[in-house]
Amino acid sequence: MPPKKPFRVVVLASTNGTDFSAMLEEKRDGKLKDVEFVGLVANKNCGAAERAAAAGVPVFLIDGKAENFHEELFETVKLLEPDLICLVGWMRFLRANFCAEFENKILNVHPSLLPKFAGKMDGSVHEDVLAAGEKNSGMTIHLATADIDAGEIICQKECDVAEDETVESLREKVQTLEKKWYPEVVRWFRDEKIFLNEKL
C-alpha cells in the first residue's frame, strides 16, 4: 500500500500567529499526523513568520504595499498546491479570483459568534461585544470568501462574558477557544469529515 499523501496546508498571516502556534504545537506532539505545513505567506514581517521559520516551515514574504501584491499572492499560493489554506490574523482582503481558485479550501477564524460583529477585527470586535452588553461571545471558523465574514460556518464555540469582563480578558477567552478548535477543524478537513452545505 503506498504511503499516505501529506495533507498540504498553507497559512496566511499578518500578525503574531497565536493560532498558528497552537497548530505547530499539535504537529510537534503528533496530533496533526499527515499534515504538512508547506508554507507561511505573510504580507509583512510578523510574529507568525518568525514562528514558522523557527519550526522549519518555509516563509514567503510578499510586500503588502506592492502594486502586484494580489497577483504575487495568487501565484505563490498556487505553486504551493494547498489542500487547505488557513488565515491566521490575515489583515488583507482576498480577491474574488483567489477565492474562486481555492473555493471551499480557505478557512478563517473570527473572534465573535458570526453573523454578530462581522467585518471588524480582534480588539474592536471585543469592544463592541462589551459595549452591546452581550452575555456570550466566542469564535467562528468559517470558509473565507470575497465577501467578508460571510462564508459558510464550519465551527462555532462560545464563552460567557463576565460582568467585569475587559477587552483583554475576553480576548484571552476567545483565543483559548481558537487554539483548541482551529487545529481540530484542520483535522476534519484532512479526514474529509466536512460535508459542505450540511450540518456537522
Residues known to be catalytic? 110
Q: How far is the C-alpha of 31 from the C-alpha of 175, rounded, in Å?
A: 19
Q: How far is the C-alpha of 137 from the C-alpha of 173, rounded, in Å?
A: 9
The DSSP annotation for 147-199 comes to: STT-SPEEEEEEEE--TT--HHHHHHHHHHHHHHHHHHHHHHHHTT---TTS-
Is the Cβ–Cβ distance between 41 and 10 less than 8 Å? Answer: yes
Provide the residue type at 192 as one letter.
E
> Scanning the structure block, which residue is given the C-alpha cell 497577483?
71
> What is the bridge-based pairing of β-strands 35-42 and 84-88?
unpaired
